[in-house]
Amino acid sequence: MSFARTEIVASGLEAVAAEMCASLVRTAYSPNIKERADCSTALCDVAGRTLALATHSPAHLGSTLGLVPAILQRFPLGRMRPGDVFLANDPYIAGVTHLNDCTLAAPIFVGDEPVGFAAAVAHHSDVGGRVPGSESGDSTSLFQEGVRFPPVQLYAAGERRNDIWETFLLNSRTPHFGEGDLLAQKAAITRGIERMGGMYARFGTGAMAEGIAEMLDATERRTRAGIRERLRRGTFSAEDWLDEDGLTDDPVRLAVAVTVGDGEVEFDFSGSAAELGSGKNVPITHTMATIYYCLKAMVDPGLSINEGLYRPIRVKAPEGSVVNPRPPAGVSSRNLTSMILADVMIAALGQAAPARSMAASGPYQGIILSGRDPARGRYFVDYENFAGGQGGLCTGDGAEVMQVHMTNTSNLPIEVMEIEFPVRVEAYGMIPDSGGAGRFRGGLGVSRDLRILADGTLLAVRSARQRFAARGSRGGKPGTLGAYVVNPGTAAERKLASTLSEHPLAKGDLLRIVTPGGGGYGAPAAREPEAVLRDLREGKVSKAAARTLYAVALAPGGEAVDAGETARLRAAADVPKE
């Protein structure tokens, strides 16, 4: 097949996956998908190799790794028919990242021949389990985290199996969301089947097979070339810490040794902590997703997401460790752990590629509010992640209020939150000085105040960087820590733990969520004075920080830099020469 034809096939597959994802978002029912876009779609061949994946959440980059083989173990390919649809959500069997990530997949037929699968992954608001929202860092096993589905047949030749459908909805506290989102997933894979069928009708089965093989090889070649060009050879190590293990105050070590060879990279997690007794473990497919994200970001952000990207990667993740737990270890709150794991990998890869390095980031602080909605007379589950700040880059400031690394979901608009759930947003803004000081400043975190409008509301929280701040790099300062505070500034003020479930809130209580800032990059006193002045004007940095951290003095009135005094301060600070 010609290069042009291969490019057309590759672009076509990516376009199909993107159209599937757009269809899923536009037809979904829950705010978690239709507003926050916590979902992904993919195309696989009949062997289970990923051909194209469109994701709003890098956490889903590994969701199709074991999906098709798990389906084929239970439903032989030769017995499948057009219109069959399979449902799965078990991370240890189907390879999704946790039970909320319910996945629908269907075979794609050309005539009587199955040629691939279309899949749609969506985070459902609630799939049962011990706590509302089905996600808790203090769960002690997968059995507490919700209903488990190995691959089961949800539709048989186009006919819905109501026994499976009802079982799924009966295990959810929010079946009104669950039903609508399942139908949206079905619509998305139907769109994928139609579009993929159109490609086969245009090019033919033989040409498509040839184009797919060359596409995967081309992605592999580009990945290996990027590794050779942008990463120097050697072994590079880094570590960081998760605040606590979900059940005790003991910190959790996350460590990696990255060995760069000739066009390949090995990630060795042998130095990471043993499997936890809580829901903060990272299943191996999610660990793989974190690896794919970090390597793609550091080597070549334009790389296609398909099997070719995976081939140059080798992984050592001991079974029974925090990054490769054994069933039935809990994994529901795995994403915050993977956020710190991503910082660790980027720190190690940054040693191999200093020109692409960055400081550590402040990840989101997550909440789940639940209870009885007095306006609708039904149960509600409000699942939300509030963004922290990105770490400073070697080339510029970190982004403010950014859903970094493994979460790239959108901010739930205030109007939607207040319409859908019994809460009122009373304050929302960036936190001055929360980004670590540096030549390139860390991104700012945010503070949001939620007024609770329903009696009997329950709160669950999940977080990181409330104890171990995002580190600065090359002399940069750390970002500030995150926090949860109830009724701040009153006699009833209380700071909450970084992990908890079913904490009662009364009608009228105010919940403040404070997210962490990103670390700074480079010596703060090396920051351009005009950049500090701009930060002052925009309210991102205080006058005190300008003088004490950045060694910048202001002229009387504070509207300009006092060049002479700044030079004196910087001479005293012994700013390193670039």
Residues 262/310, Cβ–Cβ less than 8 Å: no
pLDDT at residue 62 greater than cutoff 90: no
Alpha helices in 231-333 (DSSP H): 284-299, 307-310
As a whole number of angstroms, the distance between CA 148 and CA 141 comes to: 12
Binned at pLDDT 50, 70 and 90, residue 147 comes out as very high
pLDDT at residue 56 greater than cutoff 80: no
User: Mean pLDDT across the stretch 259-265?
Assistant: 98
What residue spans define the domains of the chain?
Answer: 3-220, 358-522, 526-573
For residue 285, give the nearest of 513, 92, 103 by alpha carbon: 92
Greater pLDDT, 575 or 459? 459
Q: Which residue has the tokens 């390949």?
A: 264
Q: How far is CA 16 from CA 67, 309, 412, 565, in A?
A: 19, 19, 26, 60
pLDDT at residue 578 greater than cutoff 70: no
Residues 454/374, Cβ–Cβ less than 8 Å: yes
User: Mean pLDDT across the stretch 251-269?
Assistant: 98
Q: 2 burial class (0-12, 13-18, 19+ CB within 10 angstroms)? A: exposed
What is the tens place of the pLDDT at every residue in 353-402?
999 999 999 999 999 999 999 999 999 999 999 999 999 999 999 999 99
As a whole number of angstroms, the distance between CA 304 and CA 348 comes to: 23
Q: Which pLDDT does position 281 carry in this prediction?
A: 97
What is the tens place of the pLDDT at every residue in 214-257?
999 999 999 999 999 999 999 999 999 999 999 999 999 999 99
As a whole number of angstroms, the distance between CA 328 and CA 181 comes to: 27
Q: Which pLDDT does position 556 carry in this prediction?
A: 86
What is the tens place of the pLDDT at every residue in 309-366?
999 999 999 999 999 999 999 999 999 999 999 999 999 999 999 999 999 999 999 9
Q: Which pLDDT does position 367 carry in this prediction?
A: 96
What is the tens place of the pLDDT at every residue in 425-468?
999 999 999 999 999 999 999 999 999 999 999 999 999 999 99
At what angle are helices 175-203 and 205-230 packed, to 10 degrees?
110
User: Mean pLDDT across the stretch 190-203?
Assistant: 95
Q: Which pLDDT does position 567 carry in this prediction?
A: 87
φ, ψ at 12 (rounded to 5°): -65, -45
The b/e string for 392-417 (b: 16+ C-beta within 10 A; e otherwise) is bbbeebbbbbbbbbbbbbebbeeeeb
Q: How far is CA 278 from CA 98, 145, 356, 392, 448, in A?
A: 13, 11, 35, 32, 28
Q: Which pLDDT does position 1 carry in this prediction?
A: 57
Tell me the helices (H) and strands (E) count for the chain, helix number first.
13, 20
Q: Which pLDDT does position 576 carry in this prediction?
A: 60
- Whole-number percent of the chain with pLDDT over 70: 99
Q: Which pLDDT does position 423 carry in this prediction?
A: 97
Q: Which pLDDT does position 412 carry in this prediction?
A: 87
Q: Which pLDDT does position 410 carry in this prediction?
A: 82
Alpha helices in 231-365 (DSSP H): 284-299, 307-310, 334-352
To the nearest whole number, what is the mean pLDDT of the chain? 95
Question: Which H or E run contains 6?
Answer: helix 3-27
- Whole-number percent of the chain with pLDDT over 90: 91
As a whole number of angstroms, the distance between CA 316 and CA 312 comes to: 14
Q: Which pLDDT does position 575 carry in this prediction?
A: 65
| Least confident residue range of 54-63, 130-139, 225-234, 269-278 | 54-63
User: Mean pLDDT across the stretch 131-154?
Assistant: 96
* Strand 85-88 with 152-156, pairing: antiparallel
For residue 246, give the nearest of 101, 135, 344, 408 by alpha carbon: 135
Binned at pLDDT 50, 70 and 90, residue 6 comes out as confident
pLDDT at residue 577 greater than cutoff 70: no
Q: Which pLDDT does position 419 carry in this prediction?
A: 95
Greater pLDDT, 1 or 83? 83
User: Mean pLDDT across the stretch 515-530?
Assistant: 96
Q: Which pLDDT does position 310 carry in this prediction?
A: 96
3 state DSSP class of 276: coil
Q: 351 burial class (0-12, 13-18, 19+ CB within 10 angstroms)? A: middle
